[in-house]
Structure 1
Amino acid sequence: MDINDNEILEVVNKKGFKKIFQFDNKQTIQLQGGHICPEDVLNSEEGSTLTASDGLKYYIFRPSIHDYIMYGIKRHTQIVYPKEAGYIVLKLDVRSGKVVGEAGTGSGSLTLIFSELVSEKGKVVTFEKNLDFLNNAKKNIEKFSKLQNIIFINEDFGNSNYKNFFDAFFMDLKEPWFYFEKVYIAFKNGGNFGLIVPTTNQINQSINELEASNFLVDEIVEIFHRKYKINPNRLRPEDIMTGHTGYLIFARKIK
């Protein structure tokens, strides 16, 4: 397997265990009850079967963005889950060449997705006033991606002075309505705006303030994601699921 030191890899087994790790050719990979030697990784191909010291079989891959976000990033904050992230990028029309803004970088999960989608032709500008959160997000993203299209800004978005700049903007803040007028100015005409809030009273205030700030509220949605047990003889849902994570609100800039 053609890999380099510090590359991010993933081992999985058929019982659902997954581990994301940064490869070091001098360190064994510690697992549930055993370990895998680095030499076995170097001598394998992606998708190969590796037998751990306790006899259990694992498979080695380069992780998808989904798995890296769910199992690999270091979380200093709650993340935007993939179940919401996929819908967000479609609603905001995030694609190659777009300029995307984000207020509330958090642990960087959504920032990473935005960066990969806009590609080297686009740009992501993310605001996070907590320096520890911002530094952690940078490390999380730099481990996975080599793209240089993110501008990290360690300040409150309210202190920014962008005008007619963003194609899309996403906000994950406790009181987002304080920034609606500022983001309106920062948008290009027709810009796609999205935000996530955890409670219904925040929805009420957000709707009122969005309309007062000359946005057209397009949709309010909550997304559920239920997994099924991978057993063809006893096919049924998993016993535990991630329930409520947040409400998504989408709007467009109007004149």
Structure 2
Amino acid sequence: MTTPPAPSGPTGAHLRRGVFRLGERVQLTDARGRLSTITLTEDGAFHTHRGYLRHDLLVGAPEGTVVQNTSGVEYLALRPLLADHVLSMPRGAAVVYPKDAGQVVAMADIYPGARVLEAGVGSGALTMSLLRAVGDEGAVHSVERREDFAAIARGNVEGFFGGPHPAWTLSVGDLADVAPAAHGRGEVDRVVLDMLAPWENIDAVAGVLAPGGVLIAYVATTTQLSRTAEDLRSDGRFTEPEAWESMVRGWHLEGLAVRPQHRMVGHTGFLLTTRRLADGVEAPLRKRRPAKGSYPVTPDGRPGDDGGEDELWTAEGLGERLPSDKHVRRARRAVGQPPADA
């Protein structure tokens, strides 16, 4: 049996080097480029319709080795990268794609030692990137409303880092209640929101975010993006918000046949960033004039809300597909966080 080396250096770093060991996740790639992720177990085997591969052929082997199953099918064995891991791990809520997680870390300027408040932990995909960025000396406080999603996230994060991360705190509850109780005024450097209605927490965020600190919100639809931006402008304690989305298109590389792939990772979500102003400072007035019809008007012609908009801000109204209870229970068992009544 090959056991993991004693932890040394940053949390989880010892699991990213050396030979394959029992309990590790290994990514197998066949000759056609198909990926399979397995967890090495004693006396375990990876079965397909073309034979099986014994796990003991991989235990103790160096990363980047090629092994054959009982039918002679070859597989390249590598440790999955973080981007691979988050797409193959058990999940309750939908994960933040690696292309968006990278943008969050870069555009929110998540640096080593930063104090980050994250709301909407989902399955823990973005949390892993945040913890990697802040390091052991930083702090990531993740807040999740659903206890079952929090349990899945805890199992995924601790499974990836090989145990609890010293920089991570996970709370179950509403951000508006948790943030003021856990953080003093101006104690947070960065805030990351991944939730249905981020505008509902603008006041809570403004209370704990340090002057100059970055707020970044991840939303799925243009209606969410618009309302978040307008409420930030109306609040008056933040700079002019900026928004964008990223799309990733791979390329086919085969001799002289170099062309874009037919499939791409298109829209996943929008990112919106803004920064906290110092207390008592008013943001400069916008110089550009909005187009006619950009804002709703009241019956007498004055700018304002039409009064019925809040009824539309539901998960179903925004097209969000919630996971079933059965799916969530299965994911909890897969990460070793079964429900208490199981």
- TM-score, scaled to structure 1: 0.94
SS state of the match for residue 58, structure 2? helix
SS state of the match for residue 201, structure 2? helix
Matched with 2:338 is none
Matched with 2:268 is 245
SS state of the match for residue 275, structure 2? strand
Q: Residue 220 of structure 1: which of 243, 248, 258 is its match?
A: 243
- The letter of the residue matching 1:102 is E
Q: 1:36 to 1:226 in 2, by over 3 A?
A: same
Matched with 1:30 is 47
Q: Is the 8 A contact 1:91 1:192 kept in 2?
A: no
Q: Is the 8 A contact 1:103 1:126 kept in 2?
A: yes
Q: Residue 151 of structure 1: which of 149, 162, 169 is its match?
A: 169
TM superposition shift of 1:174: 0.7
| Structure 2 residue runs without a partner (length 5+) | 1-17, 279-342
TM superposition shift of 1:218: 4.2
Q: Distance in 2 between matches of 1:32 and 1:196?
A: 41
CA displacement, residues 158-211 of structure 1 (integer Å, 9 cap, x when unaligned):
112123221111101111100011001111111111011111121211111112
Q: Distance in 2 between matches of 1:6 and 1:14?
A: 25
Q: Is the 8 A contact 2:21 2:59 kept in 1?
A: no
| Structure 1 residue runs without a partner (length 5+) | none
SS state of the match for residue 249, structure 2? coil
CA displacement, residues 68-115 of structure 1 (integer Å, 9 cap, x when unaligned):
1122x1121111111111111011111211111111000100001101
**Structure 1 residues 213-222 or 108-117, which shifts more?**
213-222
**Structure 1 residues 107-116 or 40-49, which shifts more?**
40-49
Task: Among all aligned residue pairs of Structure 1 and Structure 2, give the percentage whose two residues are the same amino acid.
Answer: 26
Q: Residue 128 of structure 1: which of 134, 141, 144 is its match?
A: 144
Q: Count matched residues.
A: 254
Matched with 1:137 is 153
Q: 1:33 to 1:212 in 2, by over 3 A?
A: farther
**Structure 1 residues 140-149 or 94-103, which shifts more?**
140-149
Q: Distance in 2 between matches of 1:44 and 1:31?
A: 22
Q: Distance in 2 between matches of 1:171 and 1:42?
A: 40
Matched, 1:101 2:117: yes
TM superposition shift of 1:5: 2.4
Q: 1:120 to 1:50 in 2, by over 3 A?
A: same
TM superposition shift of 1:46: 0.8
Q: Distance in 1 between matches of 2:149 and 2:225?
A: 25
TM superposition shift of 1:32: 6.3
SS state of the match for residue 173, structure 1? coil
Matched with 1:204 is 226
CA RMSD of aligned residues (A): 1.6
Q: Residue 37 of structure 2: which of 20, 32, 44 is its match?
A: 20
Matched with 2:198 is 176
Q: 1:94 to 1:32 in 2, by over 3 A?
A: farther
Q: 1:152 to 1:254 in 2, by over 3 A?
A: same
Q: Is the 8 A contact 1:193 1:252 kept in 2?
A: yes
Q: Is the 8 A contact 2:20 2:60 kept in 1?
A: no
Q: Distance in 2 between matches of 1:203 and 1:43?
A: 49
- The letter of the residue matching 1:11 is L
**Structure 1 residues 227-236 or 35-44, which shifts more?**
227-236
**Structure 1 residues 79-88 or 208-217, which shifts more?**
208-217
Q: Distance in 1 between matches of 2:256 and 2:52?
A: 31
Q: Is the 8 A contact 1:106 1:134 kept in 2?
A: yes
